[in-house]
């Protein structure tokens, strides 16, 4: 198949999943055209045979000064051009806003079918906003097929968006051959900064220190500020605990100020956006995710694949991924004190950390590997083309 893929190219779950899926499809001899406004972040350091990037035209015009250029129309035009120039069979739109709209308009022009994959906030947050809901609902319902990444998200799409059509649940996946635990790497803290060194270079990490890790886009629903407050409770009980945070986003300044306010500068370290997440995960002892809304977060899959035990909340589709007290710890609610208590208990229990490390790895190997999940997408695409 020759597949055009609409995605957000920046750091984030939907774009990362879309890029990895496209690469795996290319490895199965499909031709993939990523149609977006810049080269996807996950492709910056990689080349995959059969993968192309078709950049959407961008230009300034005085008329658009106050409203911004009409990206949805420019994206539609680029899809149409890619379909005609590269003879694409299908468009796969990741994240409904605005990609489903552009794919819908492109189908009206070229007749090329489109599949929409719903990822999370395009359903439970932005998708239900009156500014977007009528268009999201229509262009999702009119798609040739619709998938989403969790049962929770399917229920939200049906109940909150009013989607009345079939939705295939295809969970997020991880390449378990690529994401696995690596030994011999530790995090080294030097004057408040964090770097990676080989194990023989480690001098200032004491045997009883424990490294907690979090990575996100710092949106409000990720509750990174609250995670710093949780860390204050943890450090009061376990002074040698360190929290390493990768990522950036809207609440970063508030996060920095909270670190200073709570006197945690020696215990919490901000890395910014990093490409070597796997190395950091393999250097940590526990992964923390404190969200209030999630579809099926890829970062949890990555942690579990790296045999990093996880503590998380019952947000969205998370309990479908991390079965509570089986694959990791899922708190019963969003209370900060209870989350802190779970962190402290796991810090002090080596055998339980080892149990969850093994269980998480087994979970992704058995149910969420790339080999199984990519095949499910292939079957959806094939059924769409066969029905036309």
Confidence of residue 187 (pLDDT cuts 50, 70, 90): low
pLDDT by residue (tens digit) across 198-221? 444 434 556 678 999 999 989 999
Task: Please give the domain boundaries of the chain with CATH numbers for all domains.
Answer: 2-173+369-386 (3.40.50.2000), 185-367 (3.40.50.2000)
Mean pLDDT, residues 58-67: 79
Q: Tell whether the model's pLDDT for residue 295 goes beyond 70.
A: yes
User: How far is the C-alpha of 211 from the C-alpha of 279, rounded, in Å?
Assistant: 13
Q: Is the pLDDT of residue 171 over 90?
A: yes
Work out the average pLDDT over 273-280.
Answer: 81
Q: Which of 107, 115, 169, 95 is nearest to 1 (CA)?
A: 115
Residue 143 above 90 pLDDT?
yes
The DSSP annotation for 282-300 comes to HH-SEEEE--S--S--HHH
Alpha helices (runs of H) in 43-95, residue ranges in sequence order? 71-86
Tell me how far apart the alpha carbons of residues 325 and 346 are, in angstroms, rounded to a whole number: 12
Q: Work out whether strand 185-190 and strand 193-198 pair parallel, antiparallel, or are unpaired.
A: antiparallel
Q: How many CB atoms lie within 10 A of CB 92?
A: 29
Extended beta strands in 139-282, E state: 145-148, 168-169, 185-190, 193-198, 210-216, 241-247, 268-272
- Beta carbons within 10 angstroms of residue 130's beta carbon: 6
Instruction: Decide if 329 contacts 312 (C-beta within 8 A).
Output: yes
- The pLDDT of residue 272 is 85
pLDDT at 62: 81
Q: How many CB atoms lie within 10 A of CB 368?
A: 19
The string over 312-338, giving b where at least 16 C-beta atoms fall within 10 Å of a residue's C-beta and e elsewhere, is bbbbbbbbbbbeeeebbbbbeeeebee
**How many angstroms separate the CA atoms of 362 and 56, rounded?**
41
Give the model confidence (pLDDT) of 34-51 as tens digits: 999 998 876 765 677 899
What is the rounded distance in angstroms from the CA atom of residue 174 to the CA atom of residue 186?
Answer: 23
Look up the pTM and report it. 0.86
- Mean of the per-residue pLDDT values of the chain: 90
Distance of CA 164 to the CA centre of its chain: 26
Residue 191 has pLDDT above 60, yes or no: no
Q: Model confidence at 60, in pLDDT bands (50, 70, 90)? A: confident
Q: pLDDT tens, 78-116?
A: 999 999 999 999 999 999 999 999 999 999 999 999 999
* Residues 266-287, mean pLDDT to the nearest whole number: 87
């Amino acid at each position: 198949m020759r597949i055009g893929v609409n995605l957000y190219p920046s750091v984030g779950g939907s774009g990362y999943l879309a890029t990895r899926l496209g690469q795996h499809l290319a490895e199965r001899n499909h031709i993939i055209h990523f149609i977006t406004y810049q080269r996807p972040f996950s492709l910056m350091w990689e080349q995959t045979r059969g993968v192309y990037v078709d950049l959407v035209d961008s230009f300034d015009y005085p008329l658009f000064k106050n409203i911004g250029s009409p990206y949805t129309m420019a994206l539609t035009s680029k899809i149409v051009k890619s379909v005609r120039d590269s003879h694409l069979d299908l468009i796969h739109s990741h994240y409904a806003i605005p990609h489903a709209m552009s794919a819908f308009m492109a189908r009206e022009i070229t007749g090329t079918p489109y599949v929409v994959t719903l990822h999370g906030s395009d359903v439970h947050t932005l998708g239900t906003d009156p500014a977007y809901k009528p268009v999201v609902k229509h262009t999702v319902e009119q798609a040739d097929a619709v998938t989403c990444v969790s049962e929770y998200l399917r229920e939200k799409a049906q109940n909150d968006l009013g989607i009345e059509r079939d939705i295939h649940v295809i969970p997020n996946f991880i390449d378990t051959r690529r994401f696995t635990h690596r030994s011999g790497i530790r995090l080294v803290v030097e004057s408040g900064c964090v770097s990676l060194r080989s194990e023989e270079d480690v001098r200032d990490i004491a045997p009883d220190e424990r490294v907690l890790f979090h990575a996100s886009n710092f949106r409000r629903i990720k509750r990174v500020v609250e995670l710093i407050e949780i860390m204050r409770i943890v450090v009061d009980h376990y002074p040698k605990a360190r929290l390493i945070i990768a990522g950036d986003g809207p609440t970063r300044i508030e996060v920095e100020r909270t670190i200073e306010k709570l006197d945690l500068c020696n215990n919490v370290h901000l890395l910014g956006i990093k490409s070597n997440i796997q190395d950091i995960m393999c250097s940590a002892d526990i992964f923390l995710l404190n969200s209030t809304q999630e579809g099926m977060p890829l970062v949890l899959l990555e942690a579990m694949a790296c045999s990093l035990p996880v503590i998380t909340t019952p947000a969205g589709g998370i309990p479908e991924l991390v079965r509570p007290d089986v694959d990791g710890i899922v708190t019963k609610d969003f209370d900060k004190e209870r989350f802190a208590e779970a962190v402290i208990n796991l810090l002090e229990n080596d055998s339980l950390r080892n149990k969850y490390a093994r269980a998480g790895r087994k979970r992704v190997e058995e149910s969420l590997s790339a080999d199984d999940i990519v095949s499910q997408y292939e079957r959806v695409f094939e059924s769409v083309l066969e029905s036309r």
